[in-house]
Amino acid sequence: MSNALTKAAASRNRAAEPYSLFSALRGGGPVVWLSCLIMGLGNILGGQIVLGLIYLAIEVGIIRFLVSAGGGIYWISMLPSLGWREQEKVFNEETFVYEYVAGDQSQLILLYGIASLCVVGLLVLVWQSSVRSGYKALCLKKEGKHVPNFRQSLKSLLDENVHKLLMFPPTACLAVFTVLPLLYMMSMAFTNYSKEGDHLVLFDWVGLDNFIAIFDSTSTIGKQFGSVLTWTLIWAFFATFLNFFLGTIVAMIINRKSIRFKGLWRGCLSMTIAVPQFVSLMVVRSMLQPEGIINRMLLNAGLISERLPFLTDATWARVLVIIVNLWVGIPYTIMQVTGILQNIPAEQYEAATIDGANVFQIFFNITLPYMLFVLTPYIITQFTGNINNFNVIYLLTRGEPMGVGNSAGDTDLLITWLYKLSVDQQKYNLAAVIGIFTFVVLSIVSLITYRSSGSYKDEEGFK
């Protein structure tokens, strides 16, 4: 007898979802079908009155929001056109004054429209969960089993359903303040929302025009995109690999057996990590100004006869941001590689020394290959991080020097250009295109790394 029971339980477990939406619709009968319209009905009839009423209240609330005047349905219906009514001045016959009649604001229509679509999505999710939960309650009642009352349902939130309780606040915040903004921003890439052509209040869908303009290498914006992209890649390459090589070498030097005060050296070097970047980099920026202390010192020492254009000449500025980035980045590399260096098997070094290899041969044939093997994921993360390295560029040069008539400076990365385009120049559509482009490139790189990394494969073994 008990054997049969366990078998039944096992078979129920084997079916992926005992109370799935599909099985509810197929095997539920009229009450469940009716509860598709009146959410919570199943729960109420199944004995879970409070839960059912909550579902019903949510349904009423959402539908009221959607159908009320100026509610969700209105915003969704405005989405295809994004509004057309301009603000108008109307003469009021009674009071003999001109009054302004508010026009449409495409930006708000887009935002509220997308938010309303999300609310509709939410309604679908709640609906699905209510139908399933109602079906479950009815089934349990029919089978004569105990239907958990509201208090027990609440209690289960602290036990087997604790993930629902714990995940709700972070997920809700993510949805509203990360996912919604991203959807909103991405949709801007397909509009002409820009200061250019006076489209800040009313704008329209333009399809792929922005993408075509940016990827067209003959247009003004396309040329700028080309040069910014090239510089971004050059920067990311040098910033990553120079940091890695030089950082490894410094770490090895500090790691030498005969060197004392290892902590002191590492501590001194990590000052650039400990002090906030907006302080350290702005100090360096001030020192590198044409009138700044470095030029002054060089002049006083008679080493140069006129001021060096540290941050005002494109080539100087580009080389300098890479060098200053070494100042910030080498300590990070040291932190990362110190432990790994100690893991290299000592026998390899001994064997190499016996064979008569010199320091450089040992470095290039033993240390470096080992480090590259272990740290490839780290290097790729650094590479993507450098493509998005807003702080170093923006604090140091603000993207300058800037050619006349350009919207991007010579040291601007895609990310700082994006910032300038959206915050300073209000060309939101182009900024959005660049954001999407950066995301696509980064996600391809990262997905490949992440998929082949050990931590992902370990995760597969999670039970």
Rule CB under 8 A: which of 164-183 touch other proteins?
A: 165-167, 169-171, 173-174, 176-182
120 binds other proteins (CB under 8 A): no
Using the minimum distance from each CB to other proteins, give the nearer residue, 149 or 338: 338
Instruction: Using the Cα atoms of residue 69, residue 75, residue 76 and residue 81 in order, give the sign of their dihedral.
Output: positive
Q: Give the per-residue SS3 of 280-331.
A: HHHHHHHHHCCCCHHHHHHHHCCCCCCCCCCCCCHHHHHHHHHHHHHHHHHH
Determine the distance from the C-alpha atom of residue 237 to the mean position of all C-alpha atoms in its chain, rounded to a whole number.
Answer: 22
Concatenate the DSSP letters of all residues of 153-194 into one string. Answer: HHHHTTTTTHHHHHHHHHHHHHIIIIIHHHHHHHHHTTB--S
319 binds other proteins (CB under 8 A): no
Provide the residue type at 312 as one letter: T
Using the minimum distance from each CB to other proteins, give the nearer residue, 45 or 333: 333
Q: Are 366 and 348 in contact (CB under 8 A)?
A: yes
Instruction: State the nearest-atom distance from the C-beta of 99 to other proteins, in Å.
Output: 25
- Selected from 93, 94, 159, 347, the binder of other proteins by CB under 8 A is 159
Nearest to 453 by CA among 343, 371, 378, 354: 378
Q: Taking the CB of residue 177, how many other CB atoms lie within 10 A of it? A: 10
Sole window of 37-45, 196-204, 345-353, 411-419 interacting with other proteins (rule: CB under 8 A)? 411-419
Identify residues 362-401 at the interface with other proteins (CB under 8 A).
384, 388, 390, 394
Identify residues 232-291 at the interface with other proteins (CB under 8 A).
250, 253-254, 256, 258-259, 265, 268-269, 271-280, 282-284, 286-287, 289, 291
Count CA atoms within 13 Å of residue 28 on its CB side. 28
415 binds other proteins (CB under 8 A): yes
Using the minimum distance from each CB to other proteins, give the nearer residue, 265 or 316: 265
Using the minimum distance from each CB to other proteins, give the nearer residue, 90 or 447: 447
Provide the residue type at 368 as one letter: L
111 binds other proteins (CB under 8 A): yes
Instruction: State the nearest-atom distance from the C-beta of 160 to other proteins, in Å.
Output: 7
448 binds other proteins (CB under 8 A): no
Instruction: State the nearest-atom distance from the C-beta of 96 to other proteins, in Å.
Output: 33
Token representation of residue 72: 């969700």
Instruction: State the nearest-atom distance from the C-beta of 30 to other proteins, in Å.
Output: 29
Q: Compute the C-alpha angle 430/435/436, nearest 5°.
A: 100
25 binds other proteins (CB under 8 A): no
